[in-house]
Amino acid sequence: MTAVSIVTSPPATAGRDRAVDLVRALCIIGVVTLHALMVGVTVSAAGPSFVNASDGSWWIVPLSWVFQVMPLFFVIGGFSGATALRRMRARGEDAAAFVGGRIRRLLLPAAVTIGTAGALLAVLSSAGVPASLVELAGWRYAQPLWFLGVFLLCQALLPVMLKNHDRAPLRTLAVLVAAAVAVDVVRAVTGIDAIGFVDLLFVWLALQQIGFFLADGSIDRIPVRARVVIAIVAVALLAAAFGARVYSPDLIANINPPTTALVLVGVAHTAVFSLVRGRIARFAERPLPAAVTRFVSARAMTIYLWHMPVLLALAGISALVAMATGIALPAPGGAEWWLSRPIWLAAALGGTALVAIRLTRFESMPVPPLSGSAGRLAVSVLVGVTAVALLLVVGTSPGTAVVSVALLLASLRMSTRPAPAPGFVVHA
């Protein structure tokens, strides 16, 4: 295990937390990097095809231990959400304003992205691209969207879960973890993997709940030595579970469907983060890390939503160049393929950044007056989640994209306060 410098971290404050912001930015960059490494393209006599370069590859296991950052991202989401909600309440705003704001920030850029993806797929079909390739591109595009639906649901439930945390923090977390473990047990006993998708709720809510402990300073009050032990024990339990073949050592495989192994990853990451938080905060003040943090933080959802279309476009361009020039593309996982990865990653990160610069306005648009009705917001969230689930289950096509965008726009409409009916005056 690599030695780390242990520094007592400062408690959370009402202002921006530089360490949290930098780590969140790095998590997003890590996701884009991982997906870029997983996207492969091959050209055969039958034509080009998109492949998962990590399928059957040995390197995905150690790489997943570095780039499986989603547990930490949800922990940070819990921290940021709890901090934001408490700040809003101090200004006299309520939980409905928080949930409505989250719906707006997540679903408006998603509607633009999904609509564009559907239009591009329609153009490809009209241009004579084989239907199987268009279908595969739509399927690859939709895969990362699981995060959008799950994160929306977790953030919508955050006010209720934060209230439970304030009343009974340990018991609430224990119930969520126990439920996640129970789902894993039932899945293992029955052999029905689909049962594991129930943990889309319990695993990610448990990780968000850990973020509440970070937000209220509870983790910072744990002695340094105890936090070191917690991190070591979490990693040891993971290793034991892998050795006993309870969970796959490929942490990416543990995300679809999610398993309790991700909770252990989140515990280990959170413990280590709390130990080096002070040092990260000081590093985040330097010009380059500060610039990266500002850039990514202002465009986080745009980057996440658009990185896969950028990757698929780069893969398509690579295939067209290979077919036009007769130059063979390196086989995924081979020496030539790895030597070409720095250029590929530079193109992926640079292309995503350029697109994000152009399209971030949809993420940063002012939020209109929000609905004060809990029931209306609940329906809005369910409609938004349904729009994402449609693409995940059926796949993205021009038709499903149209339906999904319609549902997203309906969700956004329900999250805003209806205008007064003509002839009526609303008095303050």
* pLDDT values of the chain reduced to their tens digit, one per residue, 428 residues: 333 333 333 443 445 789 999 999 999 999 999 999 998 888 877 677 778 888 888 899 999 998 999 999 999 999 999 999 999 999 988 888 899 989 999 999 999 999 999 999 999 888 888 888 888 889 989 999 999 999 999 999 999 999 999 999 999 999 999 999 999 999 999 999 999 999 999 999 999 999 999 999 999 999 999 999 999 999 999 999 999 999 999 999 999 899 999 999 999 999 999 999 999 999 999 999 999 999 999 999 999 999 999 998 998 888 888 888 888 888 888 899 999 999 999 999 999 999 999 888 887 776 665 666 788 899 999 999 999 999 999 999 999 999 999 999 999 988 876 544 444 444 43
Residue closest to 201 by CA, chosen among 389, 5, 3: 389
Q: What is the pLDDT of residue 15?
A: 55
CA 139 to CA 118: how far, in whole Å? 12
| Cβ-proximal residues to 21 (8 Å cutoff; 6+ apart), any chain | 284, 293, 297
**Can you point out the beta strands (E) in 160-231?**
none
Q: What is the pLDDT of residue 10?
A: 41
| Cβ-proximal residues to 376 (8 Å cutoff; 6+ apart), any chain | 414, 415
Q: What is the pLDDT of residue 410?
A: 95
Q: What is the pLDDT of residue 374?
A: 82
Q: Distance from first CA to last CA of the chain, Å, rounded?
A: 61
CA 104 to CA 413: how far, in whole Å? 10
Strands 47-52 and 39-44, sheet pairing = antiparallel
Q: Are 231 and 72 in contact (CB under 8 A)?
A: no
Write the single-letter amino acid at 140: R
Q: Tell me which H or E stretch contains 64.
A: helix 60-67
Q: What is the pLDDT of residue 40?
A: 84
Q: What is the pLDDT of residue 367?
A: 64
Q: Are 193 and 187 in contact (CB under 8 A)?
A: yes
CA 243 to CA 84: how far, in whole Å? 41
Identify the bridge partners of residue 50 per DSSP, sorted by sequence position.
41
CA 310 to CA 316: how far, in whole Å? 10
Residue closest to 78 by CA, chosen among 200, 276, 215: 215
* Long-range contacts of the stretch 358-366 (C-beta < 8 A, 24+): 359/109, 359/112, 359/302, 359/306, 360/298, 360/299, 360/302, 362/108, 362/109, 362/112, 362/302, 363/105, 363/108, 363/109, 363/298, 363/299, 363/300, 363/301, 363/302, 364/298, 365/108
Q: What is the pLDDT of residue 368?
A: 65
Q: Are 213 and 169 in contact (CB under 8 A)?
A: yes
CA 224 to CA 30: how far, in whole Å? 27
Residue closest to 127 by CA, chosen among 295, 316, 360: 316
- Please give the angle made by the CA atoms of 322, 327 and 330, to the nearest 5 degrees: 85
Buried b / exposed e along 392-403 (16+ C-beta atoms within 10 A): beebbbbebbeb
CA 90 to CA 310: how far, in whole Å? 41
Only one residue has tokens 């729009």, namely 387
Three-state SS for 46? coil
Q: What's the token pair of residue 264?
A: 């252990």
